[in-house]
Amino acid sequence: NKKNYCAIGSVKTNVGHLVSAAGITSLIKATIALQQKVIPPTINFETPNPQIDFENSPFFVNTKLSEWKTNGIPRRAAVNSAGIGGTNAHVILEEAPVVEVAPSLRQHQLLLLSARTPSALETATENLVNHLKDNPTIPLADVAYTLQVGRKAFPHRQIVVLKDIEDAVTVLETKDPERIFSNFNESNNSSVVFMFSGQGSQYVNMGRELYETEVVFREEYDRCRELLKPHLDIDIYSLSDLNQTAIAQPALFIIEYSLAKLWMSWGVTPTAMIGHSIGEYVAATLAGVFSLEDALMLVATRSRLMQQQPAGAMLSVSLSAAEVESLLAETKISGVELATNNAPSLSVVSGSFAAIAELENLLTNREINSRSLHTSHAFHSQMMDAVVEPFTEAVKKVKLNPPQIPFISNVTGSWITENEAVCPSYWAKHLRQPVRFSEGIGELLKDRERIFLEVGPGRTLTTFVKQQAGERVVLSSLRHPKDKESDTAFLLNTLGKLWLAGVKIDWLEFSATEERRRIPLPTYPFERQRYWVEAGEGISRGDSRITRTEVRSKTEDLSKKEDVSDWFYVPSWKRDILPSADFSHHKPWLVFVDDSEFCSAFCQRLNSEYGVEVIQVKIGNDFHKTDNNIYTINPEKRDNYDVLFAEVCALGNIQNIVHFWSLIPAQTYEGFQDLGFYSLLYLAQALNSQNINNPLQIGVISSNIQNVTGLETIIPEKSTVLGACKVIPQEFINISCCHIDIEKSEISDNISTIKIDQLILELAADFTTPTVAYRNGRRWVETFEPLKLEKVSENKRLREKGVYLITGGMGGIGLAIAEYLAETVQAKLVLIGRSEFPPKSEWENLLKTWETFLQKGGESNPVITKIQKLQELENLGAEVLILQADVANKEQMQKAVDIVSEKFGNIHGVIHAAGIIGKGETKLKTPETVEPIFAPKVKGTLVINEIFQDTKLDFLVFWSSISSIIGGIGQIDYAGANAFLDKFANCKTDQFTASINWDIWQEVGMATNVNLPEEYKKRHEENLKQAIATQEGIEVFNRILQGNQLELNNFSQVVVSTKSFPARIEQSFNLKSEIQQTLEENKVSKSIHSRPNLANAYVAPRNDVEEKIVKVLEELIGIEKVGIYDNFFEIGGHSLLATQVNSRLKEMFQIEIAMEDFFDAPTVAGISEKIKSAQEKNNGFKPQKIMAVSRAAYRGKLNE
C-alpha cells in the first residue's frame, strides 16, 4: 500500500537513443548512483504522461539530485532494458557491503612496480605517489597485494619495503637509493640454490618476528618443537643461551627448516642445495634423505655427542685451504687440522686451545690475518673421533632414501651421490672431515644462471659466496644480529630482490594467510612517442663521406694478403741515430732508482749538466720521505704509489718518469714481477687515480730482455714488462712509453758519461720508437722483417704415429691442430685441459641422449661437439688420450706425463697452446686478476721446461700472440704473458723451439669471444673478417713446423700476420690517438635532437659551471636539454667521447679531470663537483695520508 517511494529515471534524457547500448549504459549509471549514494535527476522532465498514474504507484520521477537515504536497508536499484528488437532484461543491483579492513600481521609491506621502459617505470611510480597522496587512508597491505597479484611483471622492475602510506610517499618521492632497488630482467624462471648456515651463525631471538607474523613459519617451527621434545630436555622456544652445541645445532636446524618451508610456500623452490656442516642436514631432509622425525633425532644425537667431547678452539685464517695445509705441514704444529674451506682465501682450522694459540702467534708474526671463533669445541677435527662410532650406530637405525633434490656434499665438495646419501658412514665422515664449502660453491657456479639464497640467520654464507661469485645474485634471508632492521622488512627485501632477479613468486600464496583485497590503483602508463631521428642537412652528410674516404686511405696497407707466404715476419734489429731532445720545459723527472753507481751517476748528471730537477724513488718497506726529493716505497704495495704521486703532484707537474727497477736482479719469478710488471701497473693506476692527465713519458730501462747480438743472456721472467710498455700508452692517452734494454755489464764495469748522456737524450726526446736497445754504445731499434715460408711437402719433424702433447688441447685451436696431426701421421694425441671431460665410456650414451634432445628442438652442446670431433680424430687413425691437469701445476702435469709414458711411451713433441685472454682495463687490474692470465703461459711454460728438461723433443712450440708486440686495449697481462713465451723460446737452443705470434683466428680461439668496450667492437669485428681461417692456420703451422728456414737462420720467434705487420705496429703505436682522431673527424654539424626518454626528470643547470658543462655535452652528443642528473652514458656518451668532453673542460676550467671521474659520477652535477674539488685542490693542496697495507694484509681485508 506504500506509494511514491521509488524514484524512476532514464538515461535517454542524458545521452539520447543508444539502441543496443542503452541497457549497459543504464547499468553503469545505476552503479555510480549506488557508489555515490545519491539519486540522479531525470533532466528536462516537466509534465508526466497523463496515462501514467504516478499518484497510485510506488514510483515518482526524481527531478533533482538528492541524497539517497536508507533506514538500515541496503540501497537497491533496478535496471530495465526492453527493446523492440526483443531485448527484455531486468537487473537488480544492491550496494556492496561495507568492507572491514583486515589488519595485516606484517608490519611492513613489499611494493612491486614494473614497466617495459625506464621512463614508463618512472611514470608509474609518480602516478602511484599521487594516488597515495590523494587516498592517504587506503590500507598499504591492499596496495601491495594489488600490485603483486594484479599486475604483470615487465623487464624494468623496482621494489621497496614500506611501513605505511606516509612512509611510501616520502620514500618514493625522494627516490631513496638505500630503500628502493631496481633491476632489468626479462626472465621469470631463474633457478635458486638454498644455502643452509652452520653453527656459529645462530643468535638469540633469530626469526622471532617471523614466528609472530608468518603462519607457515610458525606451524613448521611448532611441529619441529613437538618432534624434538623426546630428544631434548628443554623447550627450544624459550632458550636465551645458544652457545652450547647440544642446543645450538637443533635450534639452527629448526629455524632453517621452517624458513625453507616458508620460502617454498611462496613458490621459491630450490633446484639445488648446499649446507655448511649442520646445514647439510636441512638440505638432506628437504631432499627426502631423512624424514623430519628422523632428522631431528639425528641432529639432537649428533649435537649431544659433540657436546660431550673435550673443549677445543677454532681459528679463521685468511688463506686458502691449500695454503693452510702447506703451512701446517711446514710448521708441524700437532693437534691442528683444516676444519673448513669457506672461500678461495678463507679457511678455518680446528684443534686444542694450546695448538691454536701457537698457530695464531705464528700467523701474527707472518702478518697473516686470523680470528678466533666463538665455538665450544674443535669441530671437524680429531677431537671429534670419539663421536664417529656411536653416531654411525644412530644413523643405522633410521631409513635413508635417495635424494629427490640434488645437493652438494660437504665431504667431497661435489654433488652427493645416491650411495653416499644412504650410507651411515658418510654421515659419520661428515662430522669428522673438513667442510669443502668453497669447492661446493665452485661446482654450483658452473651454472651461470643460479641465484644463491642463504636460508638461515645472518649473512655468513653470503659473505663466503660473494668472494667467488662475481656478479651473481647472492642474498640472505634473515638479518645479521647487529642489524637494526626488522626480520619482516629484511625478509621482504630479499623476496623483492629475488623477484627483481627473475625468480617466479607465488604471490597468491604469499598472501594466503591474510584477508586481502584488490583495490583501484593507477594502471600502466602507456607511452606514445615518436622515436624517429631525422637526418641532418647538407654539410653533415658530405663531411661524413669525406671522412670515410680519408680513413680508408690511411688503412690501405691493412688489408688481408692473399698469399699465405707473405704472412711471416721475424724480429730484427737495425742501427739508428739518437732523436733530438728538448730540455726547455724545466719540469722535474721522477726516477725509480736502484742502488747502483750507474743510477746515482745518471741522476747527478741529469741535474748538474742538463738542469733537470730529479725526484728519486727508492725501494723500501713502506712509503717514506727520506730527504728533499728522495722517497722510498714498497713495490708490492699499491697504495704507496698513490701516496707518492699525491706528494709529487704537490710539487708541480712532472713530464718524464724513468723506471730502472727492471735492472735489479731478483731471486724468484714473483720478485721479477713485483719490480717490473706490477710496479708499472701500479704506477699507471696511481697516475690515473691521482688525476694526472698532463703529457707524460715513461722510460722503462731493463737488462737481459732483448736478444740483439745473439750473445746476451736472456731472463724471460723480466719480459712481462713489455706488455705494460705496449698497453699503458694505448689505454692512457696522455702517456707515452719506451722500453730501453741495456747490457748490465756495460754500466757496471765502466760508468761512461757518454752512455749516461745517450740514455738521458733518449729519454728526453719524444718517444717515436717503442723498443730500443743499446749495445757497446750503439743504438738499435727493433723491426720485423718479412720471411718467405713456402708450402712444404715433405714430413720433416713429424713421426708416423708419433706421441704429441697439446696443452689447451680441448680448445678450438687445440682440436684443429690435433686434427692436422691425426690426418698427417695418425698421431697418438694427448690433449691436456683444465676442465673435466666425460670419460670415453660415457660418450655413446651422451650422444644418444643429445640426439634425442635435438630432435625435440634443442641446440648444440660444446661437450657433444667435442666428443664428435674426438671421434673424427679416431676415425682418421689417431689414438686420443684426454687428461685433466692444470698446466701451471707441476704435480698434476707430471702425473699426466707419467700416464702418457705408461700408455704411449716417449713424448716426441709438445705444443703449449693453453691460455686465458685478459679482460678489463688496466686501471682495474689487480694481482688476483692478472695471475690467472700469467699462470698458463708463464708458470705453465716453466713447468713444461722442468718436466722435459732431460727429454730430447723433436719440437717444442709455444702458442704466443701478436699482442706481445702490438698490445691491445685491456690486454696488459695477456701481452706480458705472451712476451714471456717469446723470450723463453729464445733461450731454448738445444732443440727446435718456436714461439708463434699468431694473428687472430676467425672461427676458433679466444679472439672470437673477447669482450670489448662498445667503441672498439666495430674495429674488432672488421679485424675478424680479415683474420686467419682454420684451414689457413693449419697451413701456416705446417710451414713453420715442417720447413727449415727458422732452424737454418736461428729464429726462435715468428710472427703470423695476415696484414702488413710494420703497418700494424705503427697503427698500434698510435691506437688511442687514431680512434680519437676518427671521432674528431666525424664531429660534423649535427642536428640537435630533442631530449630522449630518460628515467629521471629534467633538472636545469643551477650555476655557471653546470651551464658550461651542459653546453659541451649538448654540442658533442647532439641533444637538447641535458639535465644535471642525466647519466652521461645513457644520453649517448661513451669512454672515447668522454675524452673529448674532458679536453673541452680542461681548456675551459684550466684544471685536470681524471677519466675515472666520468665513471664515478657520470652526470653534470657529479662532474661539476669534481671540478670544484680540483679547483680547491689547486688553491691549497695537502696530500692525504694513506695507510699502507701489505699484500697479505690486503687479502685478509678482502676476505673480511
How do residues 571-599 score in pLDDT, each as one tens digit? 999 999 998 887 777 789 999 999 899 99
Confidence of residue 540 (pLDDT cuts 50, 70, 90): very low
- Residue after which a domain boundary falls, among 65, 94, 123: 94
Confidence of residue 1079 (pLDDT cuts 50, 70, 90): very low
Taking residues 701-726, report their average pLDDT.
Answer: 94
Sign of the CA dihedral with 689 first, then 695, 699, and 700 last: positive
Question: Cell numbers at residue 154, please?
Answer: 615487465
Note the Cα 276 to chain centre separation in Å.
25
Q: Residue 115 and residue 996: Cα distance in Å, rounded?
A: 53
| Cβ neighbours around 73 below 10 Å, total | 7
Q: Is residue 814 part of a domain?
A: yes
Q: What count of residues does the chain have?
A: 1200
Question: Cell numbers at residue 516, please?
Answer: 586481502
**Does residue 107 sit in the same domain as residue 199?**
no
What pLDDT is stored for residue 964 in this prediction? 94
Q: At what angle do helices 1030-1042 and 812-825 cross, to 10 degrees?
A: 60
**Does residue 511 sit in the same domain as residue 498?**
no
Q: Where are the alpha helices (DSSP H) in 332-436?
A: 353-365, 385-396, 418-421, 424-432
Residues 431, 382 contacting (CB under 8 angstroms):
no
3-state secondary structure 186-253: CCCCCCEEEEECCCCCCCCCCCHHHHHHCHHHHHHHHHHHHHHHHHCCCCHHHCCCCCCHHHHHHHHH
Q: Is residue 178 part of a domain?
A: yes
Tell me what percent of the residues of the chain surpass a pLDDT of 70.
88
> What values do phi and psi take at 791, rounded to 5?
-65, 140
Residue type, 201: S
Residues 255, 239 contacting (CB under 8 angstroms):
no
CA-to-CA dists, residue 19 to 23, 28, 42, 84, 144, angstroms: 8, 15, 19, 10, 42
Q: Is residue 1116 part of a domain?
A: yes
Of 379, 420, 381, nearest to 402 by C-alpha is 420
Q: Residue 13 and residue 323: Cα distance in Å, rounded?
A: 91
What pLDDT is stored for residue 1185 in this prediction? 33
> Residue 655: exposed, middle, or buried by beta-carbon count in 10 A (0-12, 13-18, 19+)?
middle
What pLDDT is stored for residue 11 in this prediction? 87
Residues 477, 261 contacting (CB under 8 angstroms):
no
DSSP state of 717: G
Q: Residue 770 and residue 768: Cα distance in Å, rounded?
A: 7
Q: Is residue 603 part of a domain?
A: yes
Task: Inform me whether the pLDDT recorded for 187 exceeds 90.
Answer: no
Contacts of 1061 (CB under 8 A, 6+ apart): 569, 784, 786, 962, 1055
What pLDDT is stored for residue 539 in this prediction? 33
Confidence of residue 604 (pLDDT cuts 50, 70, 90): very high
**Does residue 597 sit in the same domain as residue 522?**
no
DSSP state of 1119: B
Confidence of residue 279 (pLDDT cuts 50, 70, 90): very high
Confidence of residue 853 (pLDDT cuts 50, 70, 90): low
Domain CATH for 857: 3.40.50.720
Contacts of 157 (CB under 8 A, 6+ apart): 112, 113, 114, 121, 182, 183, 184, 185, 499, 500
What pLDDT is stored for residue 549 in this prediction? 31
Of 1036, 1034, 922, 1037, nearest to 975 by C-alpha is 922
**Does residue 477 sit in the same domain as residue 512?**
no
Residues 701, 664 contacting (CB under 8 angstroms):
no
Q: Structural domain of residue 1003, as residue ranges?
A: 803-1060
- Residue after which a domain boundary falls, among 94, 109, 135: 94
Q: Residue 279 and residue 256: Cα distance in Å, rounded?
A: 8
**Does residue 492 sit in the same domain as residue 634?**
no
Question: Cell numbers at residue 65, please?
Answer: 539530485
Note the Cα 632 to chain centre separation in Å.
35
What would the pLDDT profile of 614-650 be if each residue is shown by its tens digit? 999 999 999 999 888 999 999 999 999 999 998 888 7
> What values do phi and psi take at 229, rounded to 5?
-55, -40
Of 1131, 1127, 1153, 1130, nearest to 1140 by C-alpha is 1153
Kindly write down the DSSP assignment for every residue of 793-828, as one continuous string.
-S-SSPPTT-EEEEETTTSHHHHHHHHHHHHHH--E
* Comparison of pLDDT for 1043 and 978, the residue scoring more: 978
Q: Is residue 129 part of a domain?
A: yes
Taking residues 327-346, report their average pLDDT.
Answer: 92
Taking residues 85-101, report their average pLDDT.
Answer: 84
Contacts of 929 (CB under 8 A, 6+ apart): 919, 920, 973
Q: Residue 599 and residue 607: Cα distance in Å, rounded?
A: 12
Q: Residue 243 and residue 330: Cα distance in Å, rounded?
A: 34
DSSP state of 939: I
Question: Cell numbers at residue 621, please?
Answer: 718497506
Domain CATH for 744: 3.40.50.11460
Q: What angle do CA 132, 134, 138 make, to 5 degrees?
A: 55
Taking residues 901-906, report their average pLDDT.
Answer: 94
| Cβ neighbours around 279 below 10 Å, total | 29
Sign of the CA dihedral with 621 first, then 623, 626, and 631 last: positive
What pLDDT is stored for residue 1071 in this prediction? 63
- Residue after which a domain boundary falls, among 765, 780, 795: 780
Taking residues 9-14, report their average pLDDT.
Answer: 85
By mean pLDDT, which of 186-195, 340-349, 380-389, 973-982 is the weakest?
186-195
Taking residues 1077-1099, report their average pLDDT.
Answer: 55
Note the Cα 796 to chain centre separation in Å.
47
Taking residues 506-527, report their average pLDDT.
Answer: 92
Q: Residue 832 and residue 807: Cα distance in Å, rounded?
A: 5
Confidence of residue 171 (pLDDT cuts 50, 70, 90): very high
Q: Is residue 327 part of a domain?
A: no
Taking residues 272-279, report their average pLDDT.
Answer: 97
Q: Residue 568 and residue 74: Cα distance in Å, rounded?
A: 96
Of 277, 278, 353, 275, nearest to 315 by C-alpha is 353
Residues 672, 666 contacting (CB under 8 angstroms):
yes
**Does residue 88 sit in the same domain as residue 147?**
no
Residues 702, 661 contacting (CB under 8 angstroms):
no
What ranges make up the beta strands (E) of 985-1099?
Answer: 993-998, 1053-1056
Confidence of residue 1193 (pLDDT cuts 50, 70, 90): very low
**Does residue 917 sit in the same domain as residue 907?**
yes
β-sheet with 180-184: strand ranges across: 109-115, 156-162, 180-184
By mean pLDDT, which of 293-302, 463-472, 880-889, 956-965 is the weakest?
463-472
Q: Is residue 914 part of a domain?
A: yes
* Comparison of pLDDT for 527 and 57, the residue scoring more: 57
What pLDDT is stored for residue 1133 in this prediction? 67
**Does residue 947 sit in the same domain as residue 835?**
yes
Residues 1042, 797 contacting (CB under 8 angstroms):
yes
What pLDDT is stored for residue 748 in this prediction? 79
**Does residue 416 sit in the same domain as residue 520?**
no
Of 578, 216, 277, 204, nearest to 430 by C-alpha is 277
Confidence of residue 1195 (pLDDT cuts 50, 70, 90): very low
**Does residue 135 sit in the same domain as residue 105?**
yes
Count the domains in the chain: 6
Residues 1085, 539 contacting (CB under 8 angstroms):
yes
What pLDDT is stored for residue 1077 in this prediction? 53
Taking residues 920-928, report their average pLDDT.
Answer: 86
Question: Cell numbers at residue 196, please?
Answer: 643452509
Q: Residue 868 and residue 890: Cα distance in Å, rounded?
A: 30
Q: Residue 994 and residue 1065: Cα distance in Å, rounded?
A: 21
Residue type, 1187: M
Contacts of 1007 (CB under 8 A, 6+ apart): 917, 1000, 1001, 1020, 1024, 1027
**SS3 state of residue 452:** strand
Task: Inform me whether the pLDDT recorded for 1145 exceeds 70.
Answer: yes
Task: Inform me whether the pLDDT recorded for 1010 exceeds 60.
Answer: no
What pLDDT is stored for residue 1088 in this prediction? 58
Q: Residue 862 and residue 772: Cα distance in Å, rounded?
A: 45
* Comparison of pLDDT for 978 and 1001, the residue scoring more: 978
What pLDDT is stored for residue 708 in this prediction? 92
| Cβ neighbours around 470 below 10 Å, total | 9
Residue type, 536: G
CA-to-CA dists, residue 220 to 217, 223, 262, 519, angstroms: 5, 5, 8, 32
**SS3 state of residue 852:** helix
Of 298, 308, 258, nearest to 278 by C-alpha is 298
**Does residue 756 sit in the same domain as residue 884?**
no
What pLDDT is stored for residue 239 in this prediction? 64
What pLDDT is stored for residue 854 in this prediction? 52
Mean of pLDDT over the chain: 86
Taking residues 910-921, report their average pLDDT.
Answer: 87
Q: Is residue 1069 part of a domain?
A: no
What pLDDT is stored for residue 345 in this prediction? 87
> What values do phi and psi take at 620, rounded to 5?
-150, -170
Domain CATH for 134: 3.30.70.3290
**Does residue 296 sit in the same domain as residue 217?**
yes
| Cβ neighbours around 339 below 10 Å, total | 27
Note the Cα 901 to chain centre separation in Å.
41
* Comparison of pLDDT for 415 and 50, the residue scoring more: 415
By mean pLDDT, which of 720-734, 808-822, 1125-1139 is the weakest?
1125-1139
Residues 1042, 798 contacting (CB under 8 angstroms):
yes
Of 78, 70, 106, 108, nearest to 94 by C-alpha is 78
Question: Cell numbers at residue 959, please?
Answer: 702458442
Taking residues 1122-1126, report their average pLDDT.
Answer: 85
What pLDDT is stored for residue 555 in this prediction? 42
Residues 11, 27 contacting (CB under 8 angstroms):
no
Task: Inform me whether the pLDDT recorded for 1090 exceeds 70.
Answer: no
For the ranges 432-441, 963-972, 1030-1039, 1164-1173, the maximum mean pLDDT occurs at 432-441
Q: Residue 1136 and residue 74: Cα distance in Å, rounded?
A: 72
What would the pLDDT profile of 1105-1115 be if each residue is shown by its tens digit? 888 888 888 88
